[in-house]
Structure 1
Amino acid sequence: MRWVLYPIAALFALVILGLATLAAMAFFAWPNLPALDTLTDYRPRVPLRVYTADGHLIGEFGEERRDVVRIAEVPSTLKHAILAAEDERFYEHKGIDPLGLVRAALANLSSGGRGQGASTITMQVARNFFLSREKTYNRKLYEILLALKIEQNLSKDQILELYINQIFLGQRAYGFSAAARAYYGKTLDELTLPESAMLAGLPKAPSAFNPIVNPARAAVRQQYVLRRMLEAGFINQAQYEQALAFATPQQGQRATAAARKTQDIAVPGDYVAEMARQIAVEQFGERAYELGIRIVTTVTRADQEAAYAALRRGVLDYDRRHGYRGPESFVELPAGTVAEELLDEALGEFDDHGDLLAAVVTKASPKEVVVYRRGEEIRITGKGLGFVAPMLAEKAPQSRRVRRGAIVRLRSTDKGGWEIVQLPEVQSALIAIDSHTGAVRALIGGFDFNRNKFNHVTQAVRQPGSSFKPFIFSAALDRNFGPGSVLDDAPLYYPAGVTGSKAWEPKNYDGRYAGPMTLRDGLTRSKNMVSIRLLEQITPEYARGYLSRFGFDPAQNPPYLTMALGAGAATPWQMATGYAVFANGGYRIEPYVVKEIYDGSGRLIARTDPPVAGESAPRVIDERNAWLMDSMMRDVVQRGTATRARVLKRNDLAGKTGTTNDYVDAWFCGYHPDLVTVSWVGHSQPRNLGKGETGGAAALPIWIDYMRSALQGVPEVERPRPDGLILVDNGLGTRQDYHYAEYTPPAPPSSVPDWLREMFGSDSSPAMEAESEAIPPAPVAVTPLPPPAQAPAPVEDRMPKPIRR
């Protein structure tokens, strides 16, 4: 028997020696363990988030996605799933689970490796906060010691809360709340039992069990967690079987695909979010991405969605008018049936852009096109091929023909089918602001932020064309003119000796002239000759100084006669600022997009307090001026160049179309008394939009589409006529119109203004002949007469003044 006792005694001695060695190591290591301040004063790296005014997330910036939640906010189903998957005896042990350690040690000895670590949730917290994931015995000792120290200083619920918020779960998601959004587009309390089991299975290997990347392996892990929940008594047999029915790769794919779709159609506020991000970085530096700062903007979800839909519809309608340019690219496909892996690889370089989805053509004929997309074969026939029909014909050039291997874009139709479309080349922008406070209600800076991050609302300095005329007319009202004042709509000619450059012969858009007419009719019908003559009368220098009242930079609007046709430069942001003065009765307000800023603890740290029209905002034009201009621009909508807007069936809308030379820029700037909206269409690098693409044809439909939604349920507003106006006969015997009460009848008109007569050196008039929104090739200097500088080029590398916050 003695020979049996010797090995047992030796083994016992070895165990005692090992324990003594571990105790000695622990004794010396314990004082060197890190302090637990990181845990007791937990300050996770929470990303910068941007929200709409009504609480919807529109942007998130930071390396780590994380939503910090309290343990009381975590549903019991998810807690049970986590415990079943990671540490069933969590609430029973003191930081380490001896049974688990023995089991892992035996498994590792039998396998000759270090495959199992038996880490409890407390040990995982220790590792995530203080240690690496290196699998060494030394690191495991420190992990155990730290776990014991953590258990001495924190309660079980505190430890579990840290784990739930800190653990990495793939898709840049840290913590279960962020993972619920990333994988399912849900909050924690919305998760189902199978979804909770799926998320609980991720900590072991987030990349291997990612339901988006590897749904098959994810489903196996999900089934394991459900089985462990049943064995632990967290769920009953009926719950288990019901959940198991959904724990399949197909169900996992559908659920995560639905979440991605939900995220894809989230509030389209990328340009607004980027503006807010820049403001945060200016204030807080690079730490803005980890302090948990929350920015609340002024935009609303409904307005943003309406603006986004209107802009995309308008741009796609424009694109359809100009025909199909051909597939985006071509890939070589082998003959016969092609494996899905190869087709997926071919599509890998082509991202979806909103509802414009990338697909590869596998078969094409004039009557049917078959495409592949994400495991699905789609057949397009009939009207779905109407747009691309010319490029399906055999005579179509090979480089543009829709054929096998072509990369095309699909878009679902209102009737549930599909049509082939294309990514537009043209850009557009829309901004809507509260006319009384300047709060931005909606802002879309381009067709697709992911294709072009240039913000055309704030950065695109373009020629405004005839949409600039109201500011010239407003200046004239303060110089003894009124809506009923008469000027001649007859041809004009300025020889080179007058312009200081080359001869200029401006035209009306339609090439027709109506003779003497009132300013009201001249603006309503956008008559260029009337605008030029008006600017001659008040002088370009006076008009240029007057423009600063509306927020325009004089440097961008040289004092030339071409100013009358909008040959200066402005951004949509500046145009909205200017039109707000007319809408609110004469007050200058400043648009702003950030409403409030909160720190990581939810404390308000900044709030915008804007000047308000009629209260703290400065008055910049006479109330009568604003009322008269509003009256004239309402006529533009009712019977002028913007009559399309009559489809809205409102009498309180006003505005002005604008088109620049060679159809480069198309504008509509208009408003309801409470809401100013500016829409613009053009190319990022200025070029011709195509014949007939005026402000009324290209930009106005977008404005109408947005305002239809924004003004739904808003009652009509009748602006009361201010005191100090009198009716004056317009001299044409047609009607009377309002003028300032101090109006004095003009002296008999001279054929040529004094300043112009001096330039000619005689009393004779130049050859004068009278809606062009066309801008002449060169500006016309008025005084003095050196060679005039060119009007500011409509380029996009100029930056506007910093946005006031």
Structure 2
Amino acid sequence: MKWLKRIIIALFSLALLGIGAIAAAYFYVLPDLPDVATLKSVKLQTPLRIYSHDGKLISQFGEKRRIPLKLADVPKPLLQAFIATEDNRFYEHNGIDPIGVARAALVMLTTGEKKQGASTITMQVARNFFLTRDKTIIRKVKEIFISLHIEQLLTKDEILELYVNRIYLGQRAYGVGAAAQVYYGKEVQDLTLAEMAVIAGLPKAPSTMNPITSPSRALNRRNTVLMRMHEVGYINQSEYQEALQQPITAKYHGAELDLYAPYVAEMARDYMVQKYGEEEAYTGGYNVYTTLDSGLQLLAQETLRNNVYAYDERHGYRGAAAVLWTDTQLPQEAIISALAKVAPVQGIYPAAVIAVGERDAQVLNAAGETQTLDWAGLRWARPFISDKRQGTPPKRATDILKVGERIWVRDNGQYLQLSQLPQVASATVSLDPMTGAIRTLVGGYSFSQSQYNRVTQAKRQLGSNIKPFIYAAALEKDYTLATLINNAPINKPDTRQGTAWRPKNSPDIYGGPTRLKVGLAQSINVMSVRTLRHVGLNAVIAELTKFGFDPTDLPRNESLALGSASVTPLQVATAFNTFANGGYLVEPYYIDRVEDAYGNPVEQASPTLACQPPAAAETPEAEADPFARLAAESQPGSEVHATEQAGQGDAVAQCGAPDARYAPHVISEQTAFLITSALKSVIWGGGDWSKGTGWNGTAWRAARLIKRHDIAGKTGTTNESRDTWFSGFNPTLTSTFWVGFDDHGRELGRVSWDPGAAKDQISGAEAGAKTAGPGWNEFMLHALDGTPEIAGIPPKGLVSVRIDLATGKLSRKTDHTSEFEYFISGTEPKEYITEGQDDSNIFIATPEEDLFQ
């Protein structure tokens, strides 16, 4: 009894010492214990994702890949795989598993090795959220106490949901959703049992048991997971055996992008970083939905590339990119190795010339495949001499290629074609006329070559693209489409620039008195200058500012009438939008909405609308410069493209909605219609060809290709063809194409006629209609394909009268000498042309006045 008492006292003392040690340990680490209540509102570090308007993934930013899932969305077998392997008594213990601890201690005492861990899933959650992975006693003590707190605060399912979303599973994948994508390119619900077992086996050693880097170890670990699932009864014998027979099929899957639109992705990334900060933007799990239409964006990218290739190739072949050997051919392995070091660019890839025939050549690509370059893919390659000169067209393949050269090739959709990396630059942007939503944006030929976004950053001289706005100012003052302006050399020069500036037509031909509509359609320079003089330079600048142009970009001299102002393609497209929508300056925007990782709205765009507000509403004051707003949108707190009020939804895009914003009406609906009518003539021309009075507008190629009458547009070319433009629209889409060199001093040059090329080849000096126009034509042809042609309906306040084509006066004739024209009511001509009347003498210019109406 004496020894029994001593034993009891000793045990009691040890128990007290244990309790005291635990209490001491608790109070020792208490100041360092985190507030586990934060788990109630934990924000998982999830990458930033950028989408098109129709939900296509454009890009993903962030170091950690994570796809947060609700527990109900995780397949039950996958949860069972984790529980069976990591913590079989998860739903029974209170955060610490005494049986597991005893089992791990027994294994360690009997083997001398730590073969079995004692950490529960709750302890792993504690470690992952609040602690490091340092193997110290203090860290373990903290882990235990945090786990006990977690079990008091959260339910078992809440703990398990945090675990499957937070656990690191290798290859930058955090959580089972990301792991399913990284290893198998699947949604988690599409995984097989064997694949689930692979993922469930990763927490023990994500690097050494990784199915990509260590497939044999991953196989052994997977089989262990399956065995545990079978032992505890989660799977039956047949399921177990079937899963064991499956091979390891995991391979790395990057972010599966549905749409490659890097310039817009970068704009959205920059906006989010500026507004939310880098850490929050990259880890907050935001989903940014842009306004891009994925189909139109792909089309814009393809047409821009095709147009750049066409320009580049008609100017000649600049020769091989490199020479890999001269006399002795390299071994195939060495050739492939050299080619593999050169990255493809936009579908153009490197190849080595291994044989040259009379009219074909054999090339080897980086995949080790031998391909044939037929004459169809070679014949274009006459030598490049300069931007203005090309050499003699080749007659044989040996005139072009030599064995041992490293060249560029591309598949043009029909055959393999010799190619080269273009040096010319280009950009295009398309807008919704009614809201300003950016439907396409391509800031350059290749984002990998240059991240410079020419749509928003490049200010280039506008050329004749400015003329519709000059004439709009004249219509707003007192001109009509039938106003006669003297198409004759200007005798009175502008000396504001310090020299006598005398503009000339291009070509240098003058036709005498010409109606305003024809002058715009044929882009007659002297008529634009005379119109500016009539309106007044200050008044024209004020009018251009209403279209969204920055007044500081507008030169204060008459060269403004020919487009000496430097502006961005986005500004140009926005200005042309005013003609497409009836005179409203809608703000361009590209972010439709921002959602959190679970799809909850964070921001919703509130676009300006091209319509009149309800009678009771007050129209907001117009911003003087919508592009200042576009630039300012990246600043924290900005509400240009997204308001902090969620839930507005699609209703904000409807006129009359409670929170709608209305665009300023910068020109009358009647003026917008009249300019649109003139811009249709740019494409369709006018007169009667059968009677010898027909004439072409500068964009006649668009009419031949697109063959619909609801399109309108304007070419633009600057001095020495350094910038070329084509901007145009139909009632549903406005688009601008620009082509030039990033080097402002380099001219686009000219092309000599190639007798062996197609009859419809482009030759002569590069210009808006030849250089930028084909890109716009191809884009609009396919963008509008399948959509109904929309007839232009004249707004109230317009009248239509028959006029004489020569004088612009009223006419009683119904033949080819007359046609119906629209006028703002009250401005229509009042005088009829008389039979045999000769008005030629009224257009004789005098030094004092050389502008006539």
User: How high is the TM-score relative to the length of structure 2?
Assistant: 0.75
2:370 is matched with 379
1:485 is matched with 483
The yes-or-no answer on 1:688 pairing with 2:747 is yes
2:302 is aligned, of 282, 289, 309, to: 309
Letter in 2 for 1:564: A
> In 2, Cα distance between the equivalents of 1:690 and 1:229?
73
Shift of 1:116: 6.0
Matches within 5 A, 1:106-121: 117-121=117-121
Q: Secondary structure at the match of 2:368?
A: strand
The yes-or-no answer on 1:80 pairing with 2:42 is no
Q: Greater RCO between the two (CA within 8 Å, min separation 6)?
A: 1
> In 2, Cα distance between the equivalents of 1:535 and 1:181?
61
2:664 is matched with 618
1:649 is matched with 707
2:311 is matched with 318
1:426 is matched with 424
Preserved CA contact (<8 Å) 1:223 1:247: no
Shift of 1:673: 1.2
1:173 is matched with 173
> In 1, Cα distance between the equivalents of 2:312 and 2:109?
69
Matches within 5 A, 1:238-637: 239=239, 247-248=247-248, 251-253=249-251, 256=252, 259-260=253-254, 263-264=256-257, 266-286=258-278, 287-325=280-318, 347=340, 350-353=342-345, 355-356=347-348, 361=352, 363=354, 365=356, 367-372=361-366, 376-383=367-374, 386=378, 403=404, 406=406, 411-412=410-411, 414=413, 421-492=419-490, 498=495, 501-599=498-596, 603-615=600-612, 616-637=662-683
1:128 is matched with 128
After TM superposition, the structure 1 stretch with the greater mean CA deviation from structure 2, 611-620 or 238-247, is 238-247
After TM superposition, the structure 1 stretch with the greater mean CA deviation from structure 2, 447-456 or 133-142, is 133-142
Letter in 1 for 2:748: L
1:740 is matched with 824
Preserved CA contact (<8 Å) 2:316 2:381: no
Preserved CA contact (<8 Å) 1:219 1:252: no
Shift of 1:231: 5.3
Go from structure 1 to structure 2 and tell me whether the alpha carbon gap of 1:388 and 1:619 turns closer, same or farther (over 3 Å shift): closer
Shift of 1:578: 0.9
Q: Secondary structure at the match of 2:567?
A: coil
Q: Secondary structure at the match of 1:377?
A: coil
Shift of 1:511: 4.1
User: Could you give the per-residue CA deviations for residues 82-105 of structure 1, whole angstroms, max 9, x where no partner exists?
Assistant: 345544554455545566656666
After TM superposition, the structure 1 stretch with the greater mean CA deviation from structure 2, 131-140 or 324-333, is 324-333
Go from structure 1 to structure 2 and tell me whether the alpha carbon gap of 1:690 and 1:244 turns closer, same or farther (over 3 Å shift): farther
Preserved CA contact (<8 Å) 2:363 2:373: no
Preserved CA contact (<8 Å) 2:353 2:402: no
2:51 is matched with 51
> In 2, Cα distance between the equivalents of 1:534 and 1:281?
47
Q: Secondary structure at the match of 1:302?
A: helix
> In 1, Cα distance between the equivalents of 2:723 and 2:205?
54
Name structure 2 gaps, 5 residues minimum: 1-8, 384-393, 613-661, 686-696, 751-764, 809-816, 832-838
> In 1, Cα distance between the equivalents of 2:484 and 2:216?
79
Go from structure 1 to structure 2 and tell me whether the alpha carbon gap of 1:104 and 1:452 turns closer, same or farther (over 3 Å shift): farther
Shift of 1:112: 7.0
1:729 is matched with 804
Letter in 1 for 2:824: Y
Go from structure 1 to structure 2 and tell me whether the alpha carbon gap of 1:247 and 1:709 turns closer, same or farther (over 3 Å shift): farther
Shift of 1:501: 3.6
Shift of 1:489: 3.3
Preserved CA contact (<8 Å) 2:25 2:141: no
User: Could you give the per-residue CA deviations for residues 220-243 of structure 1, whole angstroms, max 9, x where no partner exists?
Assistant: 655655565555554456555655
Shift of 1:545: 1.8
1:782 is matched with none
User: Could you give the per-residue CA deviations for residues 720-756 of structure 1, whole angstroms, max 9, x where no partner exists?
Assistant: 2233435343444832433334336899456146378
> In 2, Cα distance between the equivalents of 1:543 and 1:489?
20
Q: Secondary structure at the match of 2:459?
A: coil
After TM superposition, the structure 1 stretch with the greater mean CA deviation from structure 2, 81-90 or 709-718, is 81-90
Shift of 1:588: 2.0
The yes-or-no answer on 1:30 pairing with 2:26 is yes
After TM superposition, the structure 1 stretch with the greater mean CA deviation from structure 2, 179-188 or 627-636, is 179-188
Go from structure 1 to structure 2 and tell me whether the alpha carbon gap of 1:478 and 1:28 turns closer, same or farther (over 3 Å shift): same
User: Could you give the per-residue CA deviations for residues 514-570 of structure 1, whole angstroms, max 9, x where no partner exists?
Assistant: 443322222222222332333333333332221122111222111322222211111
Shift of 1:161: 0.7
Preserved CA contact (<8 Å) 2:336 2:365: no
Preserved CA contact (<8 Å) 1:331 1:346: no
> In 2, Cα distance between the equivalents of 1:664 and 1:212?
52
Shift of 1:166: 1.0
Q: Secondary structure at the match of 1:252?
A: coil
Name structure 1 gaps, 5 residues minimum: 1-12, 758-764, 766-805
Letter in 2 for 1:382: L
> In 2, Cα distance between the equivalents of 1:233 and 1:322?
73
Q: Secondary structure at the match of 2:259?
A: coil
Preserved CA contact (<8 Å) 1:114 1:135: no
> In 1, Cα distance between the equivalents of 2:421 and 2:208?
35
Q: Secondary structure at the match of 2:787?
A: coil
Shift of 1:16: 12
Matches within 5 A, 1:672-687: 672-686=730-744, 687=746
> In 2, Cα distance between the equivalents of 1:238 and 1:344?
48
Q: Secondary structure at the match of 2:431?
A: strand
Q: Secondary structure at the match of 1:369?
A: strand
User: Could you give the per-residue CA deviations for residues 55-111 of structure 1, whole angstroms, max 9, x where no partner exists?
Assistant: 333333334333321101112243234345544554455545566656666776798
Q: Secondary structure at the match of 1:478?
A: helix
Go from structure 1 to structure 2 and tell me whether the alpha carbon gap of 1:388 and 1:650 turns closer, same or farther (over 3 Å shift): closer
Letter in 1 for 2:780: M
Preserved CA contact (<8 Å) 2:699 2:773: yes
Q: Secondary structure at the match of 1:754?
A: coil
Go from structure 1 to structure 2 and tell me whether the alpha carbon gap of 1:41 and 1:381 turns closer, same or farther (over 3 Å shift): same
User: Could you give the per-residue CA deviations for residues 334-364 of structure 1, whole angstroms, max 9, x where no partner exists?
Assistant: 9865769x9669746x55555445x564956
2:158 is matched with 158
Preserved CA contact (<8 Å) 1:347 1:360: no
2:781 is aligned, of 708, 723, 730, to: 708
Preserved CA contact (<8 Å) 1:121 1:160: yes
Shift of 1:128: 0.9
> In 2, Cα distance between the equivalents of 1:352 and 1:523?
44
Q: Secondary structure at the match of 2:709?
A: coil
> In 1, Cα distance between the equivalents of 2:487 and 2:14?
106
Q: Secondary structure at the match of 1:589?
A: coil
Go from structure 1 to structure 2 and tell me whether the alpha carbon gap of 1:322 and 1:24 turns closer, same or farther (over 3 Å shift): farther
Letter in 2 for 1:673: P
> In 1, Cα distance between the equivalents of 2:338 and 2:198?
28
After TM superposition, the structure 1 stretch with the greater mean CA deviation from structure 2, 25-34 or 623-632, is 25-34
Letter in 2 for 1:166: R
Preserved CA contact (<8 Å) 2:356 2:398: no
Q: How many residues of Structure 1 are paired with residues of Structure 2 in the alignment?
A: 727
